[in-house]
Amino acid sequence: MPPSATASLESQATPASVAAASPAKAKPAFGILGAISSAHMVNDMMQSLILAMYPILKGAFSLSFAQIGLITLTYQLTASLLQPLIGLFTDRRPQPYSLPIGMTATLIGLLLLAFAPSFGIVLLAAAFVGLGSSIFHPESSRIARLASGGQHGLAQSVFQVGGNLGTAIGPLLAAAVIVPFGQHSVAWFGLAALLGIGLLLQVSRWYAFHHVTAGVRKKGAVESPYPRRVVLGAITVLLVLIFSKYFYVAGISSFYTFYLMDRFGLTVQSAQLHLFFFLFASAVGTVLGGPVGDRIGRKPVIWVSILGVAPFALLLPHADLFWTTTLTIVIGLVLSSAFSAILVYAQELMPGKVGMVSGLFFGFAFGMGGLGAAVLGLLADHTSIAFVYQAIAYLPLLGVVAALLPGKSRKS
């Protein structure tokens, strides 16, 4: 890491600066937000390498589409089952230095993937990557909120965009490095993981200082602005929306390259380039969702970002290559704006439980993505990739349930 970057982080880590910060008055700590976003980019880039390697792994181990889906299910379920538990634990006992430990687990998974001699080891590698994410996301989401200066949507978007950029870069790096040089070349990306570990050590120092002073200021439990029954109903609605979004995204991210190769005869590298267009559009949409939610409210953003995708999703299976690419870019832009708004909305429903809420929603998102990949892979084996895209086109219509979310904060 450049000395200037380290100095920038450390300059924001002094107890005096932390003590002076209050969510209502302080400005966002953009140095910290940038650092945690960069670490998120590294983390999710390494995850996306697994997705981008699917055509290579399919050929190397003679995998079915169901087995491809099982890889996604393994790493996403590992993350989804552990994240809420880790978030609940760290709400009570924050672990600032758990972040580099999580990145180390992801590094181990990457190295296992590079030298996996069998499908079983590939699944083990996926499990380690999932373990790394389960540790990384709850605590880093909490750090983003602490560094927000009260602009929670903006902070979550900055944090999320790093992950989306990492996911988008993965297919490009796979096309440039892994496709021509083979499975073992994945090990070179361990250097990025080492960089991420160093970056997270600096973030952990800031978090350790910030948590101490924030703990001194904390006075009792913070109550939700809604009654319990309203909170439970709203959380259920948000989880339905997460199901709709991530089940649909699983069909795009896990099988889009196969869809393009099957329907339009593209090469692996060309198909991965088109996947990059979708993922990059998702990164751009993520930047917009949080700040817009800060200005106009979370509910309108959630409503538009899920239900608004439906017309484009319904057209997608019937489009030619040009319009397929165009529609997926629009879908990525609109759909990705939802998660930051959903997460901040949920955190505001349950104040004081940032880690648990973040872990629940990240975990559920990963779980639905993994389950979607497995189910849709099995469906593709028994029908066709084209049929899968026709079936998932109706999922964004579930966005209509956003109408059930409460509007103004009111305790009754």
pLDDT per residue as tens digits for the range 258-290: 899 999 999 888 888 898 898 888 878 877 777
Tens-level pLDDT at each residue, the chain (412 residues)? 444 444 444 444 443 343 334 444 568 888 899 999 999 899 888 887 887 788 888 888 888 888 888 887 888 778 777 878 888 887 778 788 889 999 999 999 999 998 999 999 999 999 998 898 888 888 888 888 888 888 888 888 888 888 878 877 877 787 788 878 888 888 899 899 999 999 999 999 998 887 654 444 444 445 667 888 888 999 999 999 999 998 898 888 778 888 999 999 998 888 888 988 988 888 788 777 777 777 887 888 888 888 889 999 999 999 999 999 999 999 999 988 888 888 888 888 888 777 788 778 877 877 787 788 888 888 988 999 899 999 999 999 999 998 888 865 444 3
Q: With respect to residue 2, please indicate whether it lies within any of the assigned structural domains.
A: no
Q: With respect to residue 287, please indicate whether it lies within any of the assigned structural domains.
A: yes
Give the Cα separation of 278 and 146 in Å (integer). 31
Burial of residue 150 (number of CB atoms within 10 Å: 0-12, 13-18, 19+): middle
Mean pLDDT, the chain, whole residue set: 82
Placement of tokens 């209502």 in the chain: 24
Q: With respect to residue 313, please indicate whether it lies within any of the assigned structural domains.
A: yes
- Residue 12 has phi, psi (to 5 degrees) of -95, 0
Q: What pLDDT, in 10s, does the model give residues 220-232?
A: 445 667 888 888 9
Task: Kindly state the percentage of the chain with pLDDT values over 70.
Answer: 89
Tell me what pLDDT residue 104 has: 94
As for how many domains the chain has, the answer is 1
Which range marks the domain in which residue 237 is found?
25-404
Give the Cα separation of 32 and 146 in Å (integer). 10
Q: With respect to residue 151, please indicate whether it lies within any of the assigned structural domains.
A: yes
The enclosing domain of 346 has a CATH number of 1.20.1250.20
Tell me what pLDDT residue 151 has: 82
Nearest Cα neighbor of 278 from 248, 242, 253 is 253
Q: With respect to residue 12, please indicate whether it lies within any of the assigned structural domains.
A: no
Q: With respect to residue 129, please indicate whether it lies within any of the assigned structural domains.
A: yes
Q: With respect to residue 249, please indicate whether it lies within any of the assigned structural domains.
A: yes
| 191: Cβ contacts below 8 Å, ≥ 6 apart | none
